[in-house]
Structure 1
Amino acid sequence: MASAAINTGDRSAPSGGGQRADASAWLAVAAGTLGAMMATLDISIVNSALPTIQGEIGASGTEGTWIATAYLVAEIVIIPMAAWLERLLGLRTFLLLAAGLFTGFSVLCGLSTTLSMMIIGRVGQGFTGGAMIPTAQTIIAQRLPPAQQPIGISAFGITAILGPVLGPLIGGWLTENISWHYAFFLNVPICAILVTLLLVGLPHEKAKLQLLGQADWIGILGLALGLGGLTVFLEEGQREQWFSSELIRIMFVVMLVGFACIAWGQIHARRPIIKLSLLLDRQFGSVALMGVILGMVLYGTSFAIPQFLAALADYNALQSGKVVLLSGIPSLFMMAIVPLLLKTVDIRIAVGGGLIIMALASLIDSNLTAQSVGHDFTTGQLMRGVGQILTMLFLSQAVVRSVPAVDAGDASGLFNAIRNLGGSFALAGISILQEQRVWFHSRRMEETLNANRGAVQDYVNGMEQSFGQAGSGIALLAQQVQQEALVMTYNDIFWIMGVGTLAVLPLVLFLKPLPKGAGPAMVH
């Protein structure tokens, strides 16, 4: 998850291999890592607390996916713009502005009483938090000498992996012990520390406002309209009966206009905001497709597991968060051997192995029952953690090395945006599947329950005798049908993620081996 960085003046990394970074450089790295941790944490911090939040702000289960999706979509728009904004404002000013606005939007989320208010806050969080993720890599590339960059990369890698899995745990603990509001208010003291580190660790740079006239404004508008329209189209389409709804027809037009603006920028802009021509490269195109699947599994599972446990096992937010955290344990241990893995393991074997492990983890989780609880996810979560770190680690290296050096920053931004787009697709897909498949499975089960069958009548009568209330048997039977339909739906969700992961497995054949003895690649 690297981003483009422009080496300028006194904040460039020393070129000598024997030089060592000073205290201010490490403070800058700490600031970048802390900002990235905060941003990645907030992607998923609402997941385990979502049932509680939905209840308090009056949102349905499918509407609640917007609370997670809004953040991801905003990140997708801002990540490709991060390098340009750094040059425009200067790195320190850019990060100070992002941190301050992120705090303000976090407070807005914490104070939300309606779904609309929450979505506005989450969009703001996504725009400002997404800016802090790629800039962490920029700081490492510019402030640390090559010999010490692997330390910074490992620190950043830990935040990138642990952020999404720690989010549900922290959000769950705060929800159960204090209030879900503090999952957002938590950012206030963290941002205070971050601002202090930025002021001490990074030098001020003069803004280059003349770059405003060189921006691909049509492309930026296209990103916002295209991705925003696509998200609304996918999220609301099923609920609104697709094209029979005026809202969906409008969103479809907005989406097309947005994509047309992006296409115009690709052709006419001096430097397109997102360089889609890179996708025509066979290796980078393959990496991008695998990145979509990685995002779908990473964000889809961290969303689906808490929802399943809350609906069927009656888990509270903290209990669900602990289950999600399991996938971060192997990732944390494996980050310690990052340099060794990069030097000794063939990229095709590593990525292929990672995808297979992720697929098997999802297929294992596709055998849930109405009695399944947290420990039934243990094997799948631990396997998923191993698969994700192998896939993410080596794909991030393939991104940089699959394109010319001059395009490395654009490739990195595009890969990060595409990975998050995969997460957005996963959340929208889960919302659609929950509505369609629950209805499908419940109708199929009801078709087998003939009211004139003796076994059905005996069961209903037995239920009524047990509860001593006339009519309760039919109600309990209907409740069980809905419960089993929901279990089958989650099994479908995990099965689709598993099969989808296996479907991109042949793309590893397009990857080229990393240079012999190569260390972690950085984008300068």
Structure 2
Amino acid sequence: MAAMADTDEFKPLTGVTLLLAGAILAFTNFMVVLDTTIANVSVAHISGSLGISSSQGTWVITSYAVAEAICVPLTGWLAGRFGAVRTFTLGIIGFGIFSVLCGMSTSLTMLVVCRIGQGFCGGPLMPLSQTLMLRIFPKKQHGQAMGLWAMTTVIAPIVGPILGGAISDNMSWHWIFYINIPVAALCAYGAHMLLRQAETRTEKMGIDRIGLALLVIWIGAFQVMLDLGREHDWFEDGFIVSLAITAAVGLLVFIAWEVTERQPIVDLRVFRHRGFTVSVISLSFAFACFFASAVLIPQWLQSSMGYTATDAGYVTAFTGVGAVIMSPIVAKLGEKVDPRGLVFFGIVWMGFGSYLRVYWSSGSDFWALSIPQIVQGIGLPFFFIPLTTIGLGAVDPEETASAAGVMSFLRTMAGAIGTSVSNTIYYNNATVARSEIVSKLNSDSTSTMLQGTGFSLAQVRGTIEQTVTPESYALSINHVFLLTAIIFVAAASIIWLAPRPTRTVEAGAAH
């Protein structure tokens, strides 16, 4: 999509117009990225307000991610059919409207549906903001443009948890969506006024309708299966079995259709390149673990550790601090060091950060919780930036845009899947740990001992419950992080199966 800048005689913007237009694109990207993390620390508030469990509350996060993932492959077609600026502007307006509806939601069903709409509208905004940045800035300033764009991408995940926590604690969770309204209105107006002259050519383009329908069917069935599986006792329930069959058959038919379609909605042919395939596998597993922890940690802190949403947001946001510090260093190292080595170091380092969390307990203080977040954040730039170089550097130049779309699609899907799977493991392990602890306490005649000190039976039960519940969830989250540490190491190790990139990937080739 970055090639749009060279398809006509449009001249880059200059002066104040360029600065304002660049700010509009940057703010839009900031708003979209912010919404991927702002709800993470608000799940407890949303769950309590709507009368649902915390595991159901995570549907607010996964539904947005899945909708965004589905819409990303459509970005190129939408821009080619309706124009990049028009698609961008309408996407902002739609994002703002669904933000209002999310804030007005009075039930989980309404909120999830509106989050899906928000994800569909927000999906094209991130890649289009990058594409239009490259279009309006002179070629000699492309590096600066991408630096501005990357800055919003890195800072938003830091601000998101802090802002989400503060709003949820001091106002209402509804306002984590309402705050998008002035930003969306300003950006939509600015895009319409400042970017109209940068509109791209349009043409009647065909779309792979069957491929799109199959994509929606199998992804929808698979994600619903993951979200509902635990509550329905997994494959003991006929509905879950039917969803699993639909997802499996849909995936197989989707693959068969896409590899034979002339203009596929998702170009699976890029997987013939070994470097790309290995990079995507490593990216998907590592990002699934990373995103899942970003969702799970705030839940645990608020439900078991007594943290407010604001304090949980501060702990979560420390991940971004390390990323901001290391990003410029990684960019310079990328020009001199084998990117496979950088990826290996980065993902193993993230695994080390995950391993440090294995020692968390119900008595851990703020800094014991925050330091592993900083450690993991240091590894993030080593993970994302070089992986893009390896993956996109392995495909043919004319396939770069398609490969970037596939990488973005699978990364986003991996985050949603990782969140659902980790939540299931977390709550299931907590149940097992609770049973084991209670059994131990009973065998030690704890109840008799407490009653002997003057406790009533009701007080004994309450005391045991207050002790057992936090410890069972602490043990459970330890197990989750041990598993993610192992997955991180495996994801890092396979990167050596990819050949070293033979060509340089241009700025803005991926999003």
Report the AA paired with residue 85 of structure 1.
L
Which of 163, 169, 173 matches 1:176?
A: 169
Is 1:457–2:442 an aligned residue pair? no
Unaligned runs of 5+ in 2: none
Which residue among 355, 373, 387 is the counterpart of 1:363? 355
Given the alignment, which residue of 231, 247, 250 partners 1:255?
247
Of 474, 478, 482, 1:491 maps to 478
Measured on the aligned residues, the alpha-carbon RMSD in Å equals 2.3
Moved over 6 A (4+): none
Q: Check 1:35–1:255 CA distance in 2 against 1; reply closer, same or farther (3 A cut).
A: same
Q: 1:460 to 1:430 in 2, by over 3 A?
A: farther
TM-score, length-scaled by structure 1: 0.91
The partner residue of 2:289 within 275, 297, 300 is: 297
Q: Which moved more, 1:31-40 or 1:400-409?
A: 31-40
User: 1:426 aligned to 2:418?
Assistant: yes
Deviation at 1:352, TM superposition (A): 1.1
**Unmatched 5+ stretches in structure 1:** 14-19
Corresponding residue for residue 16 of structure 1: none
The corresponding residue for 1:210 is 204
Aligned residue among 349, 363, 369 for 2:341: 349
Distance 1:454 1:251 in 2: 46
1:124 is the counterpart of 2:117? yes
Give the 3-state SS of the residue equivalent to 2:157 in structure 1. helix
> Which residue of structure 1 aligns with residue 508 of structure 2?
522
How many angstroms apart in 2 are the aligned matches of 1:219 and 1:367? 46
The secondary structure found in structure 2 opposite 1:440 is helix
Shift in Å, 1:405 = 0.9
8 Å CA contact 2:266–2:406 kept in 1: the answer is yes
Is 2:393 the counterpart of 1:401? yes
Instruction: Give yes or no for contact 1:40–1:164 (8 Å, CA) kept in 2.
Output: yes
In structure 1, the residue matched to 2:370 is: 378
1:332 aligns with 2:313: no
Is residue 298 of structure 2 the alignment partner of residue 306 of structure 1?
Answer: yes
Q: How far apart, CA to CA, are the structure 2 residues paired with 1:275 and 1:488? A: 43
Equivalent residue, structure 2, for 1:500: 487
Q: Contact 1:278/1:284 (CA < 8 Å) preserved in 2? A: yes
Contact 1:171 1:318 survives alignment (8 Å): yes
Contact 1:342–1:520 (8 Å) recurs in 2:
no
TM-score by length of 2: 0.93
Deviation string, structure 1 residues 22-54 (Cα, Å, up to 9, x no partner):
544444333322222111111111111111111
Q: Larger deviation: 221-230 or 137-146?
A: 137-146
- Shift of the alpha carbon at 1:199? 2.0
Find the residue that maps to 1:369 and give its secondary structure: coil
Aligned match of 2:465? 478
The 1:461/1:21 distance shift into structure 2, 3 A limit, reads farther
CA distance, structure 2, for counterparts of residue 109 and residue 3 of structure 1: 32
With over 3 angstroms needed to count, the CA separation of the structure-2 counterparts of 1:166 and 1:5, relative to structure 1, is farther
Cα pair 1:99 1:128 within 8 Å, conserved: yes
Letter of the 2:8 counterpart: G
- The DSSP-based 3-state class of the residue aligned with 1:62 is helix
Aligned pair count? Answer: 509
C-alpha distance in 2 between matches for 1:238 and 1:103? 33
Q: What are the residue-to-residue correspondences of 1:92-241 with 2, within 5 Å?
A: 92-203=85-196, 205=199, 208=202, 210-211=204-205, 214-241=206-233
Q: What residue number does 2:382 align with?
A: 390
8 Å CA contact retained: 1:6, 1:87 = no
Residue type at the aligned position of 1:522:
G
2:310 counterpart residue number = 318
Counterpart secondary structure, 1:293: helix
Check conservation: 1:295, 1:421, Cα contact below 8 A.
no
Change (3 A) 1:28 1:9: farther
Q: Where does 1:27-106 land on structure 2 (aligned, <5 Å)?
A: 27-106=20-99
Which deviates more, 357-366 or 435-444? 435-444
Q: Using the TM superposition, give the Cα deviation of residue 264 of structure 1 relative to its aligned residue in structure 2, in angstroms.
A: 4.2
Structure 1 position 6, deviation (Å): 6.5
> Within 2, Cα distance between the matches of 1:31 and 1:265?
39
> What amino acid sits opposite 1:100 in the alignment?
I
* Kept after mapping to 2: 8 A contact 1:5/1:523: no
CA contact (8 A) 2:259 2:268 kept: no
CA distance in 1, matches of 2:143, 2:173: 37
Deviation at 1:519, TM superposition (A): 7.8
**What residue number does 1:8 align with?**
7
How far apart in 2 are the matches of 1:134 and 1:345? 28
